[in-house]
Amino acid sequence: MHPLQEELLHKVMNDPFIWKLPIFTVVYIVIQLIVYVVLRIRQNKVTNLELKTFKNVRRAFEESDRESLGNYQINEIFEQEDERSKYVGQWQKYYKRVQNKKKTERLNVSPYFGPDALYRAVGDRQILNVGGGIHTSIGVLGTFIGLAYGLSGLSSLEPDVLKEGIQNLISGMTTAFFTSIVGLVLSLLWLRFDRSSTKRLEAAVDWHSNELSYLLDADDEELLLQRLEAISRQQAEQFTTALTDLMEQQFTPFSEQLFHNFTQMSEQLERQSELTSEQIELTRNQGSDLSSTLVASLQDSQESFVERLTSNVELMTSRFSELAEQLDEASRAYLQANEKNMMLLEQTESITEKLQPATEQMEAVATALHDSKDQLDVLQERQAELIPHLKVWNEDVLTYLKDFTALSDRQIGEVTQQVAYGKEQWESTAETFERTRLQLDETMEQFSEGLEKGLTTTFQTFEKELVTVVQHFKSLSGAYLESQEALTETMQQTVETLQRTKGRG
């Protein structure tokens, strides 16, 4: 109970004027207070159970990783709470629906955890809606009981009965006044309690509705975009994987054959390259040796020939007189030179014979190069055969890409439609909230007007009855005064008669 309410109740109970009230009035007020306390305890029990569940679930959500919270993890959190809570019951309905839904079915959580749906589920307003009316009705009932009790004793004009009736009227009016005031005060206190309880419950409902919508609802725009992005990324990965598998399945035999042919050709080219390198190296070495030997022999022969020719010229010049004698020597020298020339020719023939294997090796190299050329021609032919297949493969890839682009366009269009649908839903929800607020405002205005009219009617009735009673009381008072005057005159006449009788005696 609110501290101000406790202080007011304490002052009322300790007021000595209260204990001077009629016993019926005190009992009736105690009954009103008992009804208020019982309704308050009953509503507090229901509200506190839901608020406790909201608090525990919120703490569990805040302590957990939001990215890892799914239906199963959230269900474990709710299983730890009191099963009597209507919030837990609402979650069990949703979780049962999740377990029974189809794999391709898209489940919307708004009918379960939307602000209106969740508040209708947990906001038990049966007692709150009737509490204020009960207190007002009990107060009005006490008013009519008091008035009826007060007016019931004014049905006779006898002095004693009339005097007792006036006391009963005052007592009944006191009962009517205090019971109506207590009923009105309790109704206002109940209205304040209703607003406070509703405000706390609505705050908890809004937080949990937004949180569960973020975690579970696919209509939330930001969550929808994130999930669509993840779905698109997953679809792209799946498409890439499928396309890669398909390409591997289609081109693995061809790629293996092509790789095998290229491997063989590479090995052959490597062997031919090694052989050619060896032959070229051998030819280079042999040619170098042959050239060195030939050049050396020619140089030696030329040097010897020049030397001998020089000596002969000198001899011919110096010994021209001895030309005849020296002609024989010149002939012999010429013969020797001829022999050396013959030796040089023989050496040249031997060099030619030595160069013959090199020529054969060069011819073998030329043959190997020709074979390489043939293999290259075969490779070009195979490449020419491969080009159409590659073109077909490129066309297939382009077809796949076009299909993927069309699928992406359709997916983007669906996403756009879903976003537009989500926007329409949010706008519809906002309009519904606005209409609900206006209806609540109208309801509160009607309730205030009805309460004001009821109180006005009650007080007008009470005023009319009071005026009637006062007028009746005035008429009775006049009759009473007249009867008193008549009684006084009668008493005076009786006294005078007694005095005259006494005087005569």
Distance CA 439, CA 442 (A): 5
Band the pLDDT of 102: cuts 50, 70, 90.
Answer: low
The CA distances from residue 287 to 63, 271, 296, 327, in Å, are: 90, 24, 14, 42
Q: Where are the domains of the chain?
A: 3-217, 234-410
H-helix or E-strand containing 146?
helix 126-151
Higher per-residue confidence, 279 vs 31: 31
Radius of gyration of the chain (CA): 64
The CA distances from residue 169 to 106, 156, 371, 469, in Å, are: 72, 13, 140, 9
**Is the pLDDT at 292 greater than 60, yes or no?**
no
Distance CA 411, CA 234 (A): 13
pLDDT tens figures, 404-439: 667 767 766 775 776 676 667 667 766 765 776 677
pLDDT at 451: 59
List, in order, residues 6 or more apart from 386 with CB less than 8 Å away. Answer: 258
Distance CA 446, CA 293 (A): 133
What mean pLDDT value characterizes the chain?
Answer: 69
pLDDT tens figures, 367-378: 666 676 677 676
Higher per-residue confidence, 35 vs 155: 35
Mean pLDDT on 73-100:
81
Question: Are 22 and 107 in contact, with CB atoms under 8 Å apart?
Answer: no
pLDDT at 439: 73
What percent of the chain has a predicted confidence (pLDDT) above 70? 45
**Is the pLDDT at 184 greater than 60, yes or no?**
yes
- Residue 192: CB atoms within 10 A of its CB come to 13
Tokens representing residue 304 in the block: 């010897």
Question: Are 191 and 128 in contact, with CB atoms under 8 Å apart?
Answer: no
pLDDT at 20: 47
List, in order, residues 6 or more apart from 296 with CB less than 8 Å away. Answer: none
Distance CA 91, CA 53 (A): 12
**Is the pLDDT at 112 greater than 60, yes or no?**
yes
Tokens representing residue 323 in the block: 């030309």
Band the pLDDT of 202: cuts 50, 70, 90.
Answer: confident
Higher per-residue confidence, 358 vs 267: 267
pLDDT tens figures, 219-270: 444 445 555 566 666 666 665 666 566 555 554 554 555 556 556 656 665 6
The amino acid sitting at 284 is: R
Distance CA 311, CA 183 (A): 164
Band the pLDDT of 19: cuts 50, 70, 90.
Answer: very low
- Residue 137: CB atoms within 10 A of its CB come to 14
Distance CA 32, CA 12 (A): 14
H-helix or E-strand containing 106?
none
Distance CA 338, CA 332 (A): 10
Distance CA 107, CA 115 (A): 17
pLDDT at 360: 66
Mean pLDDT on 50-59:
85
- Which residue is associated with the tokens 């979650």? 91
pLDDT at 8: 45
**Is the pLDDT at 43 greater than 80, yes or no?**
yes
Band the pLDDT of 86: cuts 50, 70, 90.
Answer: confident
Least confidently predicted of 179-183, 207-211, 333-337: 333-337
pLDDT tens figures, 21-31: 578 888 888 88
Instruction: Please write down the HEC assignment for all residues of 329-367.
Output: HHHHHHHHHHHHHHHHHHHHHHHHHHHHHHHHHHHHHHH
Distance CA 25, CA 350 (A): 156
pLDDT at 290: 46
Q: What is the dihedral of CA 46, 47, 48, 49, to 10 degrees?
A: 50
- Residue 223: CB atoms within 10 A of its CB come to 16
The DSSP code for 63 is: H
Band the pLDDT of 319: cuts 50, 70, 90.
Answer: low
Q: What φ, ψ does residue 155 adopt, rounded to 5°?
A: -90, -5
Least confidently predicted of 100-109, 277-286, 434-443, 464-473: 277-286
pLDDT at 475: 72
Distance CA 318, CA 320 (A): 6
Tokens representing residue 9 in the block: 């109740």
The DSSP code for 89 is: H
Question: Are 290 and 353 in contact, with CB atoms under 8 Å apart?
Answer: no
CA angle centred on 123, ends 138 and 445, rounded to 5°: 55
The two most distant CA atoms of the chain are separated, in Å, by 249
**Is the pLDDT at 447 greater than 70, yes or no?**
no
Tokens representing residue 223 in the block: 């969550």
Tokens representing residue 294 in the block: 């030939």
pLDDT tens figures, 126-174: 777 778 888 888 888 888 887 777 777 666 666 666 677 677 777 778 7
H-helix or E-strand containing 33?
helix 23-63
List, in order, residues 6 or more apart from 61 with CB less than 8 Å away. Answer: 69, 77, 211
Distance CA 348, CA 166 (A): 173
Higher per-residue confidence, 203 vs 262: 203
The CA distances from residue 291 to 282, 346, 351, in Å, are: 14, 16, 9
pLDDT tens figures, 475-493: 766 665 776 677 777 777 7
